Amino acid sequence: MILTDTHLHTSFSSDSRTPMESMVREGIRRGLKTICFTEHYDPDFPEIPAGLDFSLDFDSYYDEYLRMKTLYGDRIEILHGIELGIQPHLSDFLNDFYESQGGRYDFIISSCHLVDRLDPYYPEYFDSLGPEKGLFHYFETLYENLLAFDHYQTAGHLDYAARYIKKPVPEFHYEDYGDILDAILLHLIKKDKALEVNTSGLKAGLAWPNPHMEILKRYHDLGGRRLTIGSDAHQPEHMAYDFHILPDYLRQAGFDRYEIYRKQQPFEILF
């Protein structure tokens, strides 16, 4: 059983309307032991076509987290994280951000939500590139992001773009992206970063939790041992989504443990 969920959004993220307290209460109801809020902060997010700005009111978020800890901290462990949307040109900006307030977070997720300033969520992305080139270019950008900003603990939803490939989704073969994926995974391992297992895509009909089994296996073969686990829920009913499938799925790839981070330090949990 996996009783922690370390990728959660609430109304502090511009794409969620859920009060933090509703998520905390649902976590307790489900018997979760640890939850980590990881609100979106995507600086320089293009206004079009989303109409969302993905800015974050850091202080209000922190205050509400402290209030939740005071109210519910004896029933569930609540951690304070952030999901940073990285873009290669933001290296200096994000390093300054980290210098000024990065230390307050338990857990920082590095996520790639934009490729050439377009979110692959929008059909234009795969319409113009097609599934293989689109995914390949996504990985290229993600690798640039990892080189641009190093203050994070896990790489979020590594094959995020795959969620938005038009059906029928072609079969995924690691070797089609082998060089770029190896570069990404070796970088994570060298830097002692974790790889996130994210179940959010399953809701949308993706046939696998991100990342694909072949990526997880390769990460393990290359020596990667750190995983983090999150549902990426934006509403209470999606917390710990399909987590019951994960122990078998992860064992198949060679894993028997995952990490949670407190004050950006890893703690292993066996499952």
Closest distance to Zn ion from the beta carbon of 15 (Å): 9
What are the residues facing 270 on neighbouring strands?
Answer: 257
- Contact flag: residue 14 with Zn ion (CB under 5 A): no
Distance (Å, rounded) from C-alpha 236 to C-alpha 21?
A: 10
Of the two residues 111 and 153, which places its CB atom closer to Zn ion in the complex?
Answer: 111
Of the two residues 6 and 111, which places its CB atom closer to Zn ion in the complex?
Answer: 111
Residue 118 CA: distances (Å) to CA of 48, 61, 98, 137: 9, 27, 24, 12
Q: How far is it between the farthest Cα atoms of the chain? A: 51
- Contact flag: residue 232 with Zn ion (CB under 5 A): yes
Q: Output the DSSP codes for 121-132.
A: TSHHHHHHH-HH
Closest distance to Zn ion from the beta carbon of 157 (Å): 6
Q: How many residues bind Zn ion (CB under 5 A)?
A: 3
Distance (Å, rounded) from C-alpha 60 to C-alpha 66?
A: 10
Closest distance to Zn ion from the beta carbon of 110 (Å): 10
> Of 145-184, which residues contact Zn ion (CB under 5 A)?
none
Closest distance to Zn ion from the beta carbon of 220 (Å): 23
- 8-state DSSP, 117: T
Of the two residues 83 and 214, which places its CB atom closer to Zn ion in the complex?
Answer: 83
> Of 69-108, which residues contact Zn ion (CB under 5 A)?
83
Residue 167 CA: distances (Å) to CA of 70, 176, 207: 46, 19, 11
Which residues lie below 8 Å from residue 100, measured CB to CB, with a gap of 6+? none
- Contact flag: residue 5 with Zn ion (CB under 5 A): no
Closest distance to Zn ion from the beta carbon of 7 (Å): 6
Of the two residues 40 and 226, which places its CB atom closer to Zn ion in the complex?
Answer: 40
Q: Output the DSSP codes for 143-212.
A: HHHHHH----SEE-STTGGGGGSPSSPPPP-GGGGHHHHHHHHHHHHHTT-EEEEE-HHHHTT-SSPBSP
Structure-block tokens of residue 189: 């391992």
Structure-block tokens of residue 247: 């122990």
The residue range among 47-55, 139-147, 225-233, 258-266 that interacts with Zn ion, by the rule CB under 5 A, is 225-233
Of the two residues 198 and 218, which places its CB atom closer to Zn ion in the complex?
Answer: 198
Closest distance to Zn ion from the beta carbon of 120 (Å): 11
Of the two residues 122 and 268, which places its CB atom closer to Zn ion in the complex?
Answer: 122
Of the two residues 119 and 214, which places its CB atom closer to Zn ion in the complex?
Answer: 119
Closest distance to Zn ion from the beta carbon of 160 (Å): 6
Binding track over 102-131 against Zn ion, x by CB under 5 A: ---------x--------------------
Residues of this chain that bind Zn ion (CB under 5 A): 83, 111, 232
